[in-house]
Amino acid sequence: MTGEQARGCARSIRVGAVSEQIERSLVLVKPDGYRRGLSGEVLRRIEAKGYTLVALAVTTPTAEQLATHYAEHEGKPFYEPLVEFMSSGPVTAAVIEGHGCIPGFRALAGATDPTAALPGTIRGDLGRDWGLKVQQNIVHGSDSPESAAREIGIWFPELS
């Protein structure tokens, strides 16, 4: 293999590896975060992390959206309180994009329980201890590429 061929091969591997890591994720600033005026701070942290905002909307979720979004949890004890909470007011919905943005945003968000979330995370810095109301934890982020694709289709059908 010549030097030129080796450089071309490395370039294509590097480009291939990078393009495979570009992801999209749905992020929701939940009604508690929206009510407290934290949407801008959450979006600032997302952009400071280096992710791109692809789509952004402020909306009050419909019963149909929430039933579809949380379908896997239907019948679980926390399902009804979660749907009730998520329909209690506006949310800021965003599609973000970047290298490894799904695990990256989840790390940025912190542990689900704001009391257990580490300082420096969204929930650790901005979350409140609501006792058993763990769903009131400021943000939601997709947990896998498959979930992201499904969730983006629910909240931003024009992008699916």
**Does 30 appear as a known binding residue?**
yes
Q: Is 99 a catalytic residue?
A: no
Rounded CA separation 60/90 (Å): 4
**Does 59 appear as a known binding residue?**
no
Rounded CA separation 41/114 (Å): 16
Pick the closest to residue 145 from 111, 110, 100, 112 (CA basis): 100
**Does 35 appear as a known binding residue?**
no
Catalytic residue among 69, 73, 99, 140: 140
Nearby residues of 131 by Cβ (< 8 Å), 6 or more positions away: none
On whether the CB atoms of residues 122 and 139 are closer than 8 A, the answer is yes
**Does 76 appear as a known binding residue?**
no
**Does 123 appear as a known binding residue?**
yes
Annotated binding-site residues read: 30, 78, 106, 112, 123, 137
Residues annotated as catalytic (active site), given as ranges: 140
Annotated binding-site residues for ATP read: 30, 78, 106, 112, 123, 137
